[in-house]
Structure 1
């Protein structure tokens, strides 16, 4: 394994970097409260627990946490479900990864600065179960998959899994939170890579876009407001069912559940939506209001501490054929002005683009993976890959049709600002990527140092079946 692979491939079963995603689907604690809350236990209790559960197949105990043989089996199944070749991964590697996660979680519990609230985990579970039900087809199938008799038991198990995962994530984040690399450290890192082992970066581009959205006529917006007002009056004055109206008319995924949602102030929702929801009294139905997604009414069912149980209906006003035609003609005029050098793409985007996120920077797109303006061609949206790939540097695309998250269509043009051919890493040209690799190496070293220290002062008991494993950490304390 060459030098750069050692740094880039922070594998699933070795030292875990800060942003590594944990995918194991089961874990068990020595003791849990009625709601799955992690409980404090003494080392003596943990030793007794190891003996008590030995017949059930305990692979290891790390601090207050057990690793069962079934955890390893389920983790292998999960790896297989991700499309990886699980036959090439040993039980020792799986056990080692699980032990690392338990170590993080155990010390997160001891750290008073790390907090994971019950509300946060329950909200996470709600979203998780909604996604899983949507993927698998029904709650009955989901319960069968998890071998649970009812939803309450499934939620209890998911609480334990997600609590541990959140603790582990935050402990890792804290370990590396203050780690930075200086330009000199980046230079030294690059110079240490043998020339014949320096990474090759694929074809890359810098692109900008200019977006024009069809206007929604005022009369269409008023139609929606009137429709929602009529619904609200029927609910408030005649006792009509909010849930039934949500099923019949709401235009989002919650309609199948009668518009039901549980939200907190920390949820990444539209700010106007949250402001209205948290201004209501129990049983109250809001008047129609506008968010960035459409027009809503909300009913507050119940206040539970910092959480709200609500129902909502959303209807999105429609654009018309006339406004679609006007938007396309507007963009065509702008494009011709750019192509004929009457205005630069940068200036046109700043002046005319309807996309707030990019307008202020002349339409330049930011790669969410790197925070840089360069994209590897393989990272570009498949819908526009061919268009970008076939453009020359400085060339403007024809008008493209795209759509928002809510399905509303809009028009855009793209320009390729720069093209970079596949090449061996160059310090000046690829500084951002090299810096990321140098930072990752430094984070890994910090994690290794932390693990070495914590393994030494944490209660660890390894089952006989795993005492011959060549773990990356000194889990056997030899």
Structure 2
């Protein structure tokens, strides 16, 4: 690639694009740096330092990884990339409010944004594969972890906040048949109005859908594969063929839906829906509370244990067969910091003693978007402390492995920087870079 070709004039103002760095024969343009900076601001990522120093170095490192990916013939499956592009478009639409807002943010039409995201995601996946290949043979031993911990400066040993281990049982209050029939009648009315041309599906979704994420966008959920959708929803949605018609009523774990096809694209589909959720009556919540309170009294009388009651009573599928033990999805352990617990559980746990069984309380089941009645047992409390090997081995192991793998990658980068032609233009050199060797001396 020649300088004459790469220093092309921009389409809007015919001003020659400014080159900030050269990596081999590849330029890093000022516009690339500024666009990357805008993306970081949108994603609310902290930039600890001068972005016009940090971002070009990151782009230069990416160029080195991509060159290695080319040498290693790394290929990213395009179906995987397409799925990730769709997820990113959906994320952007959710956060900005509409596809038009996404186009306004990127200052380009949606097809061009898809092309841009496809390139960015493909490159990111290639970089990750190169880094994984560099560290794939790394192995750690308990001795390595112990030596690493012993050499950590005291101010680098993390403080572990108080953690708790919690067991839970839940009851789903009975929803009266009359309430379900009322919800279905409303959805049938919406369907008739759309099919007769009296109302637009998207308008009804904005006005009535109880899915806050998609409702504001006229019910549109974006391109999804079957694996990304509720099974009951997917089974109906993927059988739709006429964008002008409305599906039958679909019951899922979230409530009742009607669905309209927008577009099919290979194994992915874009639909809009209207979600209505039957409401739990106050008397049904009270009845469930009373039932759990009776069970609590019998446990306190030692007629059976919390663990035995969970197996026969609890309707929480995730914990029922695990003695009610809650699992922290962030680290797959049984321990939670208070902020990681559901808000209602955290509030109850804060006043409990270890081994105590709470009174029943109402909580929101975020996964299924409904109210349930719950009761918990506080199994253990670990007070806040400086990390140590006996209590926090997994945390320290993760720290050691991250540090060791980062060093492997850094050592590789230092060698690549030394062996690669690098030129940093005037105005971009006065920086404290993370890695040495970017600015070549005369001897180099």
TM-score (norm. length: structure 2): 0.80
Aligned counterpart in structure 2 of residue 127 of structure 1, from 90, 99, 103 = 90
Residue 418 in 1 paired to residue 380 in 2? yes
Which runs of structure 2 are paired with 1:367-386 in the superposition (5 Å)?
367-386=328-347
Residue 258 in 1 paired to residue 218 in 2? yes
Question: Structure 1 residues 473, 337: closer, same or farther in 2, change over 3 A?
Answer: farther
Conservation of the 8 A alpha-carbon contact between 1:282 and 1:303? no
CA distance in 1: counterparts of 2:99 and 2:204, whole angstroms: 23
CA distance in 2: counterparts of 1:388 and 1:447, whole angstroms: 43
Which runs of structure 2 are paired with 1:126-145 in the superposition (5 Å)?
126-134=89-97, 145=105
Which runs of structure 2 are paired with 1:374-413 in the superposition (5 Å)?
374-405=335-366, 407-413=369-375
Conservation of the 8 A alpha-carbon contact between 2:224 and 2:270? no
CA distance in 2: counterparts of 1:370 and 1:297, whole angstroms: 36
Conservation of the 8 A alpha-carbon contact between 2:76 and 2:125? no
CA distance in 2: counterparts of 1:413 and 1:52, whole angstroms: 66
Conservation of the 8 A alpha-carbon contact between 2:360 and 2:374? yes
Cross-structure match for 2:12: none
1:290-310 per-residue CA deviation (whole Å, 9 max, x = no partner) reads 211112222334323333232
Residue 243 in 1 paired to residue 202 in 2? yes
Question: Structure 1 residues 312, 197: closer, same or farther in 2, change over 3 A?
Answer: closer
1:435-455 per-residue CA deviation (whole Å, 9 max, x = no partner) reads 111221222123224434554
Residue 210 in 1 paired to residue 164 in 2? no
Question: Structure 1 residues 142, 52: closer, same or farther in 2, change over 3 A?
Answer: closer
CA distance in 1: counterparts of 2:129 and 2:198, whole angstroms: 47
1:139-191 per-residue CA deviation (whole Å, 9 max, x = no partner) reads 66665554x26555555555554554454445445554665533343333334
CA distance in 1: counterparts of 2:139 and 2:289, whole angstroms: 47
1:295-337 per-residue CA deviation (whole Å, 9 max, x = no partner) reads 2222334323333232322222222223212111122222223
Conservation of the 8 A alpha-carbon contact between 1:114 and 1:171? no
Deviation at 1:51, TM superposition (A): 4.8
Question: Structure 1 residues 469, 231: closer, same or farther in 2, change over 3 A?
Answer: closer
Residue 436 in 1 paired to residue 431 in 2? no
Cross-structure match for 1:276: 236
Question: Structure 1 residues 352, 474: closer, same or farther in 2, change over 3 A?
Answer: farther
Conservation of the 8 A alpha-carbon contact between 1:392 and 1:416? yes
Deviation at 1:239, TM superposition (A): 8.1
Structure 2 stretches lacking a partner, 5+ long: 10-14
Cross-structure match for 2:277: 316
Q: Secondary structure at the match of 1:257?
A: coil
Residue 353 in 1 paired to residue 314 in 2? yes
Structure 1 stretches lacking a partner, 5+ long: 1-43
1:24-82 per-residue CA deviation (whole Å, 9 max, x = no partner) reads xxxxxxxxxxxxxxxxxxxx34x545555795332224468643334445656676778
Range that drifts further, 72-81 or 436-445: 72-81
Deviation at 1:340, TM superposition (A): 3.5
Question: Structure 1 residues 379, 100: closer, same or farther in 2, change over 3 A?
Answer: farther
TM-score (norm. length: structure 1): 0.75
Deviation at 1:274, TM superposition (A): 1.7
